[in-house]
Chain A
Amino acid sequence: MEITTRSLWTLIHGMGFGALYLLACSGALVELWRRYSPHALQPVNPRDESFLRIYLAVMAALAWLTVLTGAYIVYPWYRAAAPPGTANLAAFPQRLLMSSPSTIAWHSLGMEWKEHVAWLAPISITMAAAVFIKYGRNLKTHPQLRSAVLGFTLVSFLAAGIAGFFGAMINKSAPVEGGQTIQLIHGESR
């Protein structure tokens, strides 16, 4: 069982940081919706408040790690230009997608949208984390602030979902491969 370094970084970017972020979004939305509503019956205790502060800060870190590894590690491999006359485009995913009418939209629509919309996630969740860190349980007395935090968290979920969906589909059609091969497990032939 082996994996290439480019494939490993794509995994870290998408299934590591990105997927963890998407999973974390639902928890943040439920917590902000239920516990910090002005109509919530139970008071928020300091321990729960501290937990959500850390949770949102970790989410913001995950969102930034996702877009930064995507834009500065994986994306350059994806968009690398093939030397003229290259017949096998497997090492040039963007060119591979653009070489066929059946796959070109994965780039012209999927990647073109993903590479920009993904950045709405870290901007939105950084705002949500900063506002929550500042106001904490006081959000219950600032319903408009809470609405904005919830709304931006929801949009960050949507943006990350769009980016994640297209990332997975693009990598299925034209995987980012290459670099050194890392041997994970030595199997035995049967």
Chain B
Amino acid sequence: MSAPASPSAKLPNGSGAAAILAAGIGAFLVAVFALAADKSAAFKSLMIFWKPTGPLSGVTTCAIVVWLLAWAVFEARWRKRNVALARINTVAFVLLGLSLLLTFPPIADLF
């Protein structure tokens, strides 16, 4: 997703892009893991990291861990570069929008 550097930009946009895309992925994973735990009894019991909180503990912990790992990987790859931010923003906002929709129970129940 490389693009020519903008002459007006003092700092490369790569670090920002890394944080934005990782946040989109993290938000989306909260919804995907929650949906999976709702649909599969085996996955649900796998997600019980702390019994009083139930599967919510595993769903959110896993999403946060993957989010932070993705952020670290993207940051290491892009921090000194300018990347095609329009495409990254689009992907991140689509993931964020999907996460809002998929956490809404009437929509999650369609799956």
A residues adjacent to B (C-beta < 8 A): 67, 71-72, 75-76, 79-80, 108-109, 112-113, 115-117, 119-120, 123-124, 126-127, 130-131, 134-135, 138, 141-142, 144-145, 147-148, 151-152, 155, 158-159
**In the complex, A178 Cα to B95 Cα: how many Å?**
40
Complex Cα distance A35/B55, Å?
A: 42
Q: Are A113 and B103 in contact (CB under 8 A)?
A: yes
Is A120 touching B53 in the complex (CB atoms < 8 A)?
no
A145–B13 touching, CB < 8 Å? yes
Task: Please tell me if the beta carbons of A141 and B19 are within 8 angstroms of each other in the complex.
Answer: no
1/0 per residue, CB under 8 A from A, across B43-72: the answer is: 000000010111011011001100100000
Majority DSSP secondary structure for residues of B touching A:
helix
Contact of A142 among B16, B52, B96 (CB under 8 A): B16
Residue of A nearest to B35 (CB): A116
Q: Which residues of B contact A72 (CB under 8 A)?
A: 50, 52-53, 57
Residues of A within 8 A of B9 (CB): 138, 141-142
A59–chain B nearest beta-carbon distance, Å: 14
B56 partner residues in chain A, CB cutoff 8 A:
71, 75, 115-116
A120 and B30 contact, CB distance less than 8 A: yes
A-chain residues with CB within 8 Å of residue B20 when the two chains form the complex: 127, 131, 145, 148, 152
Q: Which residue of B lies closest to A110 (CB)?
A: B105
| Contact indicator B19/A130 (Cβ below 8 Å) | yes
* Number of A-B contacts defined by CB within 8 Å: 109
Q: Quick check: A75 and B53 within 8 Å, CB to CB?
A: yes
Shortest C-beta distance, B27 to chain A (Å), equals 5
B interface with A by C-beta (< 8 Å): 6, 8-11, 13, 15-17, 19-20, 22-23, 26-27, 30-31, 34, 50, 52-54, 56-57, 59-60, 63-64, 67, 85-86, 89, 92-93, 96, 99-100, 103-106
B15 touches A144 (CB 8 A): no
Considering only CB atoms, which chain A residue lies closest to B33 in the complex? A116
Asked if A109 and B105 make an inter-chain contact with CB atoms under 8 angstroms apart, the answer reads: yes
Contact B31 A116 (CB under 8 A): yes
Across-interface contacts of B57 in A (CB, < 8 A)? 71-72
Q: What are the 5 A-B residue pairs with the smallest beta carbon separation, nearest first? A: A76-B52, A127-B23, A116-B103, A144-B85, A145-B16
